[in-house]
Homo-oligomer: A and B are copies of this chain.
Amino acid sequence: MTDVVSLYVNDGLPEEEIARQAALYGPLAEDIRALIPLGISSRADDDEIRRAREHLAAATEILERRRDSGPFGTRFNDAGHFRTWGNAAAGLRNAVAPPLEVHTDPDGRVWTDFHLHIGYEGPAGHTHGGVSALVLDQVLGDAARVGGSPGMTGTLTLRYRKPTPLGDLHAEAKLDRIEGRKAFVTGHIAGPDGICVEAEGIFIAPQWIADARAKFEAQD
């Protein structure tokens, strides 16, 4: 079993160093992300593919010389600046992620406008049902966290109302209520023609967070 604690670390990075790393590694992830649709759609011939792969091998050789072992994890500093740059839905350094940039409204609603390229396809020409689930799991989890009950997904229920197109989409979620360790959250994904997928999730907070919340609320 992976040692979770060691991947949830205060690495004490100063803000300027975080900004430097974001400016250095963010564009690298964007370059890799941009290659994914070309891997699917390119009609390059044998010779062109050979030359393209030589460049990819050269880049790989440079990048792997010095690197962290294991997953990125969750890193933070004393200022409470959290980084989950390896996150599959929202990670700044992760080319698997669209990436989602999730915003919070004053009323606790979280939302994101995002773009899905052709690498997120499932049914011909449409978004994969599991990619919609990836987006919604992330956004609903963020709504639980913003609502004061951060936790792991307990259950997630998705109702697919109509096919989700690729391209520009919107997702949002809000916390319905908290009961002990459980946060109940709802949300949806919408395309240009309206809501495509609806979701309900229950996110389970660690016991110490539920205890802290109960203590805090008793003081009100």
* Interface positions of A (Cβ within 8 A of B): 1-4, 6-8, 24-25, 27-29, 31-32, 34-36, 38-44, 46, 48-49, 51-53, 55-60, 62-74, 84-89, 91, 93-96, 118-126, 128-131, 133-138, 141, 152-160, 163, 165-166, 193
Say how many copies of this protein the assembly contains: 2
A63 touches B48 (CB 8 A): yes
Instruction: Select one of B3, B32, B48 contacting A56, CB under 8 A.
Output: B32
Whether A73 contacts B124 in the complex (CB less than 8 A), given A68-B41, A93-B39, A137-B129, comes out as yes
Kindly list chain B residues whose C-beta atoms are within 8 Å of the C-beta of A163.
4, 152
B36 touches A63 (CB 8 A): no
Instruction: Select one of B59, B131, B154, B165 contacting A160, CB under 8 A.
Output: B154
B64 touches A42 (CB 8 A): yes
Kindly list chain B residues whose C-beta atoms are within 8 Å of the C-beta of A89.
122, 128, 130
